[in-house]
Chains A and B, each alone.
Chain A
């Protein structure tokens, strides 16, 4: 009807729902559904007996990793792709920090090598005939025998004869899994708790906010590394257990951030406007409060990733790691007994661990500068 104006609409006829699903959300939910269905198929029909796809036997953590990649795609890559203006703005500010650009490049490399490498390369096998070989171009005396590195093992081998190159590539996947899965879980739990706490205050359910934030206090007091050691002792070292413990014990920072941001925003005019035009509380939270605190959440999340990676490596170094998983920490620990004669066993995986963690910190710093509109970015950046 062309004659519809504000005052002649019969508002009782209008049945407008504030609940709507965008195409992207539907696609995202479908992909999650597909992952769950394949998981159930693998779990109940194949009973984890044989490999699922080709020779690839998908294990517990890989399912979570698949979900994480989907979440990152729909909430990171896709919005940036769809919004060129925002992308341009962030990129312009991000590239001011030249070191961070290199760091981001390195992380992309590590991510894809870790993703694809283990599909192409056979797992590193234990061969006592290949024990301790130096990297290419290096001659070393081990146990009285002079050995020179060959191209068969470009980065040398460990005391068990495993190729260090393969261990590094497999370790990339483990590090990315630990860092990214835990962070996604942390962000989800923290955002929900923070938003609920803020919402409770806004709706005068003060006790709920008090209970939630008191719990957050208790959790932030708990030394999670100790609890992790205790849980690993009680239930055995499984990678998914380590990831879950990190996820469920580290969200308090995100929750505090989201709550603080949401409380600050909830008194702003556009929230009042949204409420006045009939939006319900859920809609306000979903459409206004969470997206508007996204920047601070992303900033605190980028600091979480390297922390998780370091923590897992430290656990693995101490020997509390999943024996089926090729963690960098374990390789470094294996080289501890050959420290004097074969320095490369501890040094090479350590360099990758160090660079990965360092890159995450640099990228996080540059992201903070790029996303915080209060920051004035001047020339230079980095070093």
Chain B
């Protein structure tokens, strides 16, 4: 098992290296926005655009050979020297460090709630499939997956925020600084964003858990457990959920991260929460390449680490899996 985990760890580094190289390749191959802007701004004030272009290339080391730039880029990435973010007048790493708590404050609770409640409802649905409660749960699940979260957020603002004036419809970033992260005021302004994000991820977890659990319900070992007198609770949690958790864990991180990344960009943009999502959005709008790169890499690294954890969970959860030669 140690050998298996060591191999997976090594593989994680390979994937990270591939991801970094791919990003470099993309940036090297694409039209350079900064260069075009520099050339255009020169032409606007009547200077020679060709000269400005050379000047810009020199300043940004674009005149060096590709291999040298690649080496520099890799060294910078590994030493966390991720560059200067123009749109925030800040280095990329401190920018990320200051933004992540705003995302984590709603993302972590949503993740926990959606996993616990989603798996619970999914198991309950699978316990009695094709009954009224299952259909109701199905409907709630489909509703949650289908409702576009950006539209749902606007709808909730129209329905609740505007007439009731009870729940704030925009995030005031001064509140956590003045009253603390865990204050009532901060919680109140996070209710709508969290609810919107919860609908999508909870529904996803529920549907997926139900499908996997139903698959497991027909297995021999469940019948054996039932025959030996296991009560429903023990049957569902100990036998079905544990086995269903194996396939569940292999797609958990990827799928959930996908929901979160698209979700957090949208949610933070609508409610003006100054977290990672809004930061990558403004970086894109203001064409701040180092910041775009930084926020994207955070996502990729999270996904890679998550995948590593998944692989480890895989062998821990299912003792039947032979990891000797993998």
Contacts and interface: CB of A to CB of B under 8 A. Distances in A.
Interface of A: 217-218, 220-227, 229-231, 233-235, 306, 310-311, 313-314, 317-320, 329, 332-333, 335-336, 339-340, 343, 346-347, 350, 353-354, 357-358, 361-362, 365, 378, 380-383
B124 interface: no
7 contacts: A220-B251, A221-B15, A227-B296, A233-B287, A233-B292, A329-B148, A353-B151
Main secondary structure of the interface of B (DSSP, over half): helix
A347 B257 contact: no
Interface of B: 15, 18-19, 23, 26-27, 30-31, 33, 130, 135-136, 138-139, 142-143, 145-151, 154-155, 157-158, 162, 251, 254, 257-258, 261-262, 265-266, 269-270, 280-281, 284-285, 287, 292, 295-296, 299-300, 303-304, 307
A334 to B, nearest CB: 11
Tell which of B23, B157, B258 has the most Cβ of chain A within 10 Å.
B258
Of A217, A218, A223, A333, most buried by chain B (CB within 10 Å of CB) is: A223
B265 A223 contact: no
Contact of B162 (A221, A227, A336, A339): A339
Contacts of B303: 221-223
A221 B148 contact: no
Given A317-B150, A340-B162, A361-B142, 12 more contacts: A220-B251, A221-B300, A222-B303, A223-B257, A223-B303, A226-B261, A235-B31, A310-B146, A318-B266, A350-B148, A358-B143, A361-B145
A263 to B, nearest CB: 16
A220 B252 CA distance: 11
A335 B130 CA distance: 40
B160 to A, nearest CB: 12
Contacts of A333: 150
A329 B261 CA distance: 18
Contacts of B31: 234-235
Contacts of A320: 284
A286 B277 CA distance: 45
Contact of B151 (A227, A234, A354): A354
A220 B266 CA distance: 22
A383 B135 contact: yes
A71 B262 CA distance: 31
A313 B262 CA distance: 11
B35 to A, nearest CB: 13
A220 B146 contact: no
